[in-house]
Structure 1
Amino acid sequence: MERLAGRIMLLGGARRALLAFLAGAFGVLALPPFGFFAALFVSFTLLVWLLDGVGGGPLARLRNAFAIGWMFGWGYFVAGLWWLGHALMIDAEEFAWALPLAVLGLPAFLALYYGLAAMVARLFWSDGMGRIAALAFGFGLGEWLRSFLATGFPWNAVGYGIMPMPLMMQSAHLVGLFGISALAVFVFCTPALLATRRGLLPGAAIAIALFAAHLGYGAYALTVPETPVRGGEVTVRLVQPRIDQAQKLDDGSREAVFAEHLKLSTEALKEGGKRPDIIVWPETSVPYILTQNHEALARIADMLEPGQVLLAGAVRAEDMGPGLEPRYYNSIYVIDDAGQIVGASDKVHLVPFGEYLPFEDLWHELGVDQAIADMPGGFSAAARRALLTLPNGLILYPLICYEAIFPDEVTGDVARADVILNVTNDAWFGNTPGPYQHFQQARVRAVEEGRPLIRDANNGISAFVDAKGRIVAGLDFDTKGVVQSTVGGKLNATLDDAARSLYFGLIMTVLAVVALSARIGFSLRRD
């Protein structure tokens, strides 16, 4: 091990950059659909040894550390997000030119956070356990910043790599995604101590204790009883129509798309099955502006039986007055059996370039007229999230599409809700790792908040997930059909985001103190 570490530390130039890139890319095996979390032990051990080999003056060491972290991040994000290019190829004539920006450019930008993480760690670098505490601190900081800077994009945060199953998701309820990410990096880096032996025993002991606590708390949390939600036993049907995205964008296919949703919603029940109280359609499933199409609302009313409610993803138009273009919102409607819209919630966190153009005037000058989602002027973001209260009293916390990847999008209002509702259209990304990664992140939101999750996707993955992240029932990816289940219970005593933020701050403080103390001791030994 010492010989291998020494050879890696002595690498320079292109070979060092290539190994950093490959180390990051290999770590993606820890993420869905693979779930091989041990891959990150290899990735972060290599990263520690590469950073051990950084030499030169103070500024050169920081610059080189940043470059290594950036290459590591670039490999991680290229391998983990290459599937974003699939969305551009649906309308290749219009957007194929942007393929390199999506597949290579966005990962290059996101890699800046990992470059920053490595550079911050190098400030406190030492020769023992302190350096892995420093790297854990750096990555905790980087992942936290990535969640909100430049609108945020915390997709595939490192912490997800140590949460491949419900047993290993429960700690997120205590310390949140970013606390898990920081502690996970410490654990993943521990094998690097085998090379120098300095700090091996305390480092390994702490890592083993952390991992054991991670599993132990998970086993305990899975036994905590749940409380029934409001409204009694409610049966929900999820409609997964598997509509090709090109067909959804074709105006001539609107009737066929709408008819398919209606047909699946009334599909005959299996023997002994209960009539659903609630039917859910995925994001932007309604191909019409419902407030302008009374016939479509009448057909929905005819489809619904007395007492049933439809939750449907749809585009909502808001009239801005004479001579002005309407505003469009990506929304969820609540429609009763009379065809009346009795509730609505608009998307708050829009996808840059997908649903709107940031710096729109600049892009227009460059010849880019619209975002990928083809709406005049793009979508508008809601000022605040509206909870959905159903006629039976059940309260839903709505998250539309990729809003489910943001822990901070689940605000304190979730305490008033019984269930998290996530509707999405992952048909943009085809049969790639993207939909599987998206599903895992939505499951972790359920665990963080102690709320069951109802998730409906156009082509999958649609599922009922309990408050511990366990899949109760669902449909496989790229399967057309429906699935029914009753709404699961919620956790009574749950931690809020403020408590998780406090614990994250304590974790970062401890890591910083360990790293700084080790750095001071390292400097004194050298002197």
Structure 2
Amino acid sequence: MIRRLIDRIVLLSGWRRSGLAFLMGALASFALPPYDFFAVAFIAFPVLVWLLDGAVDNAGGSPVRRLLPAAYVGWWFGFGYFVFGLWWIGNALLVDAANFAWAIPLAIFGLPAFLAFFYAVAAALARLIWSEGIGRIFALGFGFGVAEWLRSFIMTGFPWNAIGYAAMPVPVMMQSSVIVGLLAMNVLAVVVFAMPALYSARQNRIAGAAVVIALIIAHVGFGVIRLSTAEIKFDGPHIRIVQPSISQELKWDAEARRGILDKYLAMTAEKPEDGKLKAQIIIWPETAVPYILTKTPEALKAIADALADGQTLLTGAIRMEEPGGADEPLYYNTIYAIDSAGQITGAADKVHLVPFGEYVPLESILRKMGISEVVELPGGFSAASMRRSLEVVSGFSVLPLICYEAIFPGEMSYQGAAADAIVNVTNDAWYGDTPGPYQHFRQAQLRAVEQGLPMVRAANNGLSAVIDPYGRIIDALALDAVGVIDAQLPSRVRLPWGEAAHQIQFAVVLLLVLIVAVRYFLRSRRRVG
């Protein structure tokens, strides 16, 4: 019965093939947060393999034309994966529905349609070296490895919901990322998820089962050993995270500004729970301060009055820079460090801006078409030229990451050696109670593991948390909760190597799966010849 079903899948064509590919992509998205039902990937990827088995151009033609049926399958799979995985982005446009409701279809379907081309590339590359048996599984791993690598940097990159995250739903399954990194994990995850497709093959079943068992044992076993031998010292500064859950509609309401600031100040000044020490560092979320601080000395004074002697505030705010003359002011999404005297002691601007959220790509063309960024400022936000760490208290520095900067593993490694913790401030209130905040949190959680650094995550409406260097949650606040977290930070842990080595390991893993795929491809060609 199963064999007949597989044969029917292979022989599908037209809209039925495309429709099933779309459904399998949608199914695969449920392996991601908040569902974390990674078992569905063991269905979605084998079906994708069988669809690609039948994706051939019987009319012959040029090499490009012969790959088009596979590319179509990959595109529809990606379209389903990204529509169901990213539909929540449209929720951000409802905050200012009068101006942006028209763009909701573009957010829900347009962005996934663009991202799906990466998976079309994955399928086409795989089909280029396709063969029977286990070879095609490695070919698919190679294709997706290349596609996810391209997705990490093309057009500034958008590696959100990379396939590898589906293989790392809990801390014990996150530890492998310190060895191979996310890019290599994408390759290995696809190989493992797709291996049940060998049910339809007459050969390589035992070899395929051995590969899957070996990889799963290595993946989970390494995590068990690493966590069971982990020694964490809580010798860092005491911190407080403030999560006020300010609704997005109020954040830029001029009449609500003072009330918003007063709420932050009151929560900052609350006494810690019994048995907990007063925080040395207070962390507010992204754009928490509803004023231009350098233009509002009374706001700095109010902050100073709320801080105890020796306390430092890290807060998100908009920074304005005036070039002078006739030039328009520049605006930056910034983390400020403010001491108990109300003095700004440091600042770090956001480096990686959100396309269409904070700036408009191809600005000279798209602005003429009436397209603007969601956070509308004159000219949009400007990006910092480099990332910098902030020394918050004497001898203790943090690596500041603003919002979705935390989804880019390669952008923080060079600073990791100079920092004692990661501070990620964000405002996910744009997306409401949707999968978005949970997906964002998971990706930030992985950065703590990869860098071997504790992470302090301050989100306006959640998920705020203190995460140890092994990805374990020390304390957290739920989505839409109002409250504070008081905790002492653990120390960083030593890693075997850094992100530069992960790039090498990704290249090695990608080369190995390519060698296996090509070996079986050439063998199949000799049999045909």
- With structure 1 as the length reference, what TM-score do the two structures score? 0.98
1:435 partnered with 2:437? yes
Matches within 5 A, 1:414-433: 414-433=416-435
CA distance, structure 2, for counterparts of residue 441 and residue 494 of structure 1:
21
Aligned amino acid, residue 216 of structure 2: F
C-alpha displacement of 1:525: 1.3
C-alpha displacement of 1:291: 0.7
Aligned amino acid, residue 192 of structure 2: V
1:203 partnered with 2:205? no
Partner of 2:351: 348
Partner of 1:72: 77
Distance change >3 Å, CA 121–CA 129, structure 1 → 2: same
Partner of 2:481: 479
Partner of 1:388: 390
Kept in 1, the 8 Å contact 2:272–2:486? The answer is no
Partner of 1:32: 33
Aligned amino acid, residue 434 of structure 2: T
1:78 aligns to what SS in structure 2? helix
CA distance, structure 1, for counterparts of residue 173 and residue 180 of structure 2:
13
Deviates most, 88-97 or 386-395: 386-395
C-alpha displacement of 1:391: 2.6
Kept in 1, the 8 Å contact 2:55–2:73? The answer is no
Q: Deviations over 1:469-525 (max 9, x none)?
A: 000001011101111111012112342111111111110000000000000001111
Partner of 1:254: 257
C-alpha displacement of 1:275: 0.9
Partner of 2:336: 333
1:299 partnered with 2:305? no
Partner of 1:117: 122
Q: Aligned match of 1:366 in 351, 363, 369?
A: 369
Partner of 2:183: 178
CA distance, structure 2, for counterparts of residue 494 and residue 237 of structure 1:
31
Kept in 2, the 8 Å contact 1:31–1:37? The answer is yes
1:310 partnered with 2:310? no
Aligned amino acid, residue 74 of structure 2: G
Query: Displaced runs of 4+ in structure 1, greater than 6 A?
Result: none
C-alpha displacement of 1:228: 4.9
CA distance, structure 2, for counterparts of residue 249 and residue 3 of structure 1:
59
Q: Aligned match of 2:238 in 235, 238, 246?
A: 235
CA distance, structure 1, for counterparts of residue 292 and residue 237 of structure 2:
29
2:228 aligns to what SS in structure 1? coil
CA distance, structure 2, for counterparts of residue 347 and residue 147 of structure 1:
18
Kept in 1, the 8 Å contact 2:337–2:345? The answer is yes
CA distance, structure 2, for counterparts of residue 346 and residue 227 of structure 1:
31
Aligned amino acid, residue 403 of structure 1: E
C-alpha displacement of 1:227: 6.5
Partner of 1:47: 48
Kept in 2, the 8 Å contact 1:226–1:489? The answer is no
Q: Aligned match of 2:156 in 123, 140, 151?
A: 151
Kept in 2, the 8 Å contact 1:226–1:492? The answer is no
C-alpha displacement of 1:142: 0.4
Root-mean-square deviation (Å): 1.1
Kept in 2, the 8 Å contact 1:449–1:495? The answer is no
C-alpha displacement of 1:330: 0.3
C-alpha displacement of 1:271: 2.0
Partner of 1:84: 89
Q: Deviations over 1:132-157 (max 9, x none)?
A: 00000000100010000011000000
Kept in 2, the 8 Å contact 1:70–1:112? The answer is yes
Gaps of 5+ in 1: none
CA distance, structure 2, for counterparts of residue 426 and residue 416 of structure 1:
28
Partner of 1:462: 464
CA distance, structure 1, for counterparts of residue 308 and residue 275 of structure 2:
18
C-alpha displacement of 1:313: 0.4
Aligned amino acid, residue 189 of structure 1: A
Aligned amino acid, residue 39 of structure 1: V
Partner of 1:498: 500
CA distance, structure 2, for counterparts of residue 244 and residue 252 of structure 1:
14
Size of the aligned set, in residue pairs, is 524
2:461 aligns to what SS in structure 1? coil
C-alpha displacement of 1:178: 0.9
CA distance, structure 2, for counterparts of residue 270 and residue 348 of structure 1:
36
The percentage of aligned residue pairs carrying the same residue is 52
Matches within 5 A, 1:439-454: 439-454=441-456
Q: Deviations over 1:198-230 (max 9, x none)?
A: 21111111111011100011112213445658x
CA distance, structure 2, for counterparts of residue 499 and residue 59 of structure 1:
35
Q: Deviations over 1:155-179 (max 9, x none)?
A: 0000000110000001111111110
CA distance, structure 2, for counterparts of residue 392 and residue 364 of structure 1:
46
Partner of 2:399: 397
CA distance, structure 1, for counterparts of residue 232 and residue 496 of structure 2:
12
Aligned amino acid, residue 71 of structure 2: F
Partner of 1:20: 21
